[in-house]
Amino acid sequence: AAGVIQSPRHLIKEKRETATLKCYPIPRHDTVYWYQQGPGQDPQFLISFYEKMQSDKGSIPDRFSAQQFSDYHSELNMSSLELGDSALYFCASSFTAGGPSAETQYFGPGTRLLVL
Protein backbone atom coordinates (compact mmCIF):
# COMPACT_ATOMS: atom_id res chain seq x y z
CA ALA A 1 0.00 0.00 0.00
CA ALA A 2 1.14 3.53 -0.71
CA GLY A 3 2.59 5.38 2.24
CA VAL A 4 3.43 8.96 3.09
CA ILE A 5 6.45 10.16 1.15
CA GLN A 6 8.83 12.78 2.46
CA SER A 7 11.72 14.41 0.70
CA PRO A 8 14.52 14.87 1.16
CA ARG A 9 15.28 12.18 3.72
CA HIS A 10 18.37 13.98 4.93
CA LEU A 11 19.33 17.64 4.75
CA ILE A 12 22.35 19.54 5.97
CA LYS A 13 22.19 23.33 6.17
CA GLU A 14 24.22 26.15 7.65
CA LYS A 15 22.86 28.60 10.21
CA ARG A 16 20.70 31.35 8.72
CA GLU A 17 20.03 29.33 5.57
CA THR A 18 16.59 28.25 4.40
CA ALA A 19 15.18 24.77 3.90
CA THR A 20 12.10 23.34 2.25
CA LEU A 21 10.71 19.97 3.24
CA LYS A 22 8.12 18.20 1.13
CA CYS A 23 5.39 15.78 2.03
CA TYR A 24 3.23 13.68 -0.26
CA PRO A 25 0.24 12.19 1.61
CA ILE A 26 -1.34 8.84 1.02
CA PRO A 27 -3.64 9.04 -2.05
CA ARG A 28 -7.14 10.30 -1.13
CA HIS A 29 -5.95 11.66 2.20
CA ASP A 30 -7.07 15.26 2.63
CA THR A 31 -5.23 16.28 5.82
CA VAL A 32 -1.55 16.75 6.45
CA TYR A 33 0.20 17.25 9.79
CA TRP A 34 3.78 18.34 10.49
CA TYR A 35 5.66 17.28 13.63
CA GLN A 36 9.15 18.03 14.89
CA GLN A 37 11.10 15.47 16.93
CA GLY A 38 14.26 16.74 18.56
CA PRO A 39 17.02 14.32 19.65
CA GLY A 40 15.68 12.07 22.38
CA GLN A 41 12.38 13.95 22.42
CA ASP A 42 8.80 13.09 21.64
CA PRO A 43 7.25 14.50 18.45
CA GLN A 44 5.80 17.99 18.79
CA PHE A 45 2.95 19.17 16.59
CA LEU A 46 3.75 22.12 14.35
CA ILE A 47 0.87 22.72 11.96
CA SER A 48 -1.84 20.96 9.96
CA PHE A 49 -3.84 21.51 6.79
CA TYR A 50 -7.22 20.23 5.69
CA GLU A 51 -8.32 20.72 2.11
CA LYS A 52 -5.52 23.20 1.53
CA MET A 53 -6.50 25.41 4.47
CA GLN A 54 -4.62 25.63 7.75
CA SER A 55 -6.69 23.64 10.23
CA ASP A 56 -4.61 23.82 13.41
CA LYS A 57 -1.43 25.37 14.66
CA GLY A 58 0.95 24.16 17.30
CA SER A 59 4.40 25.23 18.37
CA ILE A 60 5.59 26.35 14.97
CA PRO A 61 8.16 29.17 15.04
CA ASP A 62 7.37 32.35 13.12
CA ARG A 63 10.42 31.58 10.95
CA PHE A 64 8.59 28.55 9.59
CA SER A 65 5.67 28.53 7.19
CA ALA A 66 3.80 25.80 5.42
CA GLN A 67 1.13 25.25 2.86
CA GLN A 68 -0.87 22.51 1.20
CA PHE A 69 -1.21 22.52 -2.56
CA SER A 70 -4.04 21.55 -4.90
CA ASP A 71 -2.62 18.02 -5.24
CA TYR A 72 -2.63 17.80 -1.42
CA HIS A 73 1.11 17.67 -1.06
CA SER A 74 2.53 19.99 1.56
CA GLU A 75 5.73 21.94 2.01
CA LEU A 76 7.32 23.20 5.20
CA ASN A 77 9.50 26.24 4.62
CA MET A 78 12.09 27.04 7.24
CA SER A 79 14.07 30.28 7.19
CA SER A 80 16.90 31.74 9.26
CA LEU A 81 17.79 28.26 10.44
CA GLU A 82 19.18 27.89 13.95
CA LEU A 83 21.19 25.10 15.50
CA GLY A 84 18.16 24.18 17.57
CA ASP A 85 16.17 23.42 14.44
CA SER A 86 18.20 20.24 13.99
CA ALA A 87 15.60 17.52 14.33
CA LEU A 88 13.58 14.85 12.60
CA TYR A 89 10.58 16.36 10.83
CA PHE A 90 7.63 14.08 10.30
CA CYS A 91 4.68 14.49 8.05
CA ALA A 92 1.52 12.52 8.69
CA SER A 93 -1.67 12.27 6.68
CA SER A 94 -5.24 11.23 7.36
CA PHE A 95 -8.59 11.06 5.62
CA THR A 96 -10.62 13.50 7.71
CA ALA A 97 -13.86 12.96 5.83
CA GLY A 98 -13.66 9.26 6.56
CA GLY A 99 -15.46 8.98 9.92
CA PRO A 100 -13.68 7.30 12.85
CA SER A 101 -10.84 6.21 10.62
CA ALA A 102 -10.12 9.90 10.18
CA GLU A 103 -8.48 9.84 13.57
CA THR A 104 -5.67 7.65 12.28
CA GLN A 105 -2.59 9.54 11.22
CA TYR A 106 -0.11 7.70 9.05
CA PHE A 107 3.44 8.92 9.37
CA GLY A 108 6.13 9.29 6.77
CA PRO A 109 9.74 8.21 7.36
CA GLY A 110 10.76 11.75 8.27
CA THR A 111 13.35 14.25 7.08
CA ARG A 112 16.43 14.51 9.24
CA LEU A 113 17.64 18.10 9.26
CA LEU A 114 21.06 18.99 10.56
CA VAL A 115 21.93 22.65 10.98
CA LEU A 116 25.64 23.40 11.31
Partner 1 sequence: AQSVTQLGSHVSVSEGALVLLRCNYSSSVPPYLFWYVQYPNQGLQLLLKYTSAATLVKGINGFEAEFKKSETSFHLTKPSAHMSDAAEYFCAVSGGRDTGRRALTFGSGTRLQVQP
Residues that bind partner 1 (CB under 8 A): 4, 31, 33, 35, 41-45, 48, 55-56, 58, 90, 92, 94, 96, 100, 102-110
**CB 59 to partner 1: min, Å:** 10
Distance CA 22, CA 5 (A): 8
CB 110, CB 89: distance < 8 Å: yes
**CB 58 to partner 1: min, Å:** 6
Q: Among 86, 104, 80, which residue's Cα sits nearest to residue 15?
A: 80
Task: Kindly tell me which of 67 and 96 has the beta carbon lying closer to partner 1.
Answer: 96
**CB 98 to partner 1: min, Å:** 11
Per-residue DSSP letter, 18 = -
